[in-house]
Amino acid sequence: MFEHRRQPLLLRGPFALRLMRYGLTAFGIVALSLAIGVWGYMRFGGLPLTDAFLNASMILGGMGPVDVLKDDSAKWFASFYALFSGIALLTTMAVLLAPVVHRMLHALHLDDDTKDD
C-alpha cells in the first residue's frame, strides 16, 4: 500500500494522487455515515428530510442533536448513532492523516538509511 522504508520517497505528483484517493475515501465514510443518520432520523424520529439531515450533520460533526426526540426508538437510534459518529470521526481522521504521517516517518527513515551506508 505504501512504499517500503528502503524505497525512495514518493514524488509530489503521485503523492498528491494518493492524498486525493484517501480524501475521497474519507469523503465516502462521511457520506455513508450521514446517509445512515438521515435514514435513521427519518425512520425512527419521524423527522422530515431537512430536519433529519440537520440532526445527523450536527451529531456527526460532534455538536449534538437539534430536535427533541419523543419516541423511545428514536432516542435509542440517536444514542447508537452518536457512538457510531465518534468512531466514524476517528476513522475519517485516520484515513486522512495516514498518507501524511507515513510520508513524514518515511522521510525520517530515509535519513537513517543514508547514515548506515
- Please tell me the predicted confidence (pLDDT) of residue 107: 79
Does 64 reside within a domain?
yes
pLDDT digits (tens, 9 = 90+) for 38-76: 999 999 999 999 999 999 999 998 888 888 888 999 999
Q: What angle do CA 21, 4, 100 make, to 5 degrees?
A: 40
Does 5 reside within a domain?
no
Does 4 reside within a domain?
no
pTM: 0.82
Which range marks the domain in which residue 92 is found? 17-116
What is the CATH number for 65?
A: 1.10.287.70
Q: What is the count of structural domains for the chain?
A: 1
Does 3 reside within a domain?
no
Does 74 reside within a domain?
yes
Query: pLDDT-derived band of residue 110, with 50, 70 and 90 as boundaries?
Result: low
Q: What's the distance, Cα to Cα, between the start and end of the chain in Å?
A: 26
- Please tell me the predicted confidence (pLDDT) of residue 43: 96
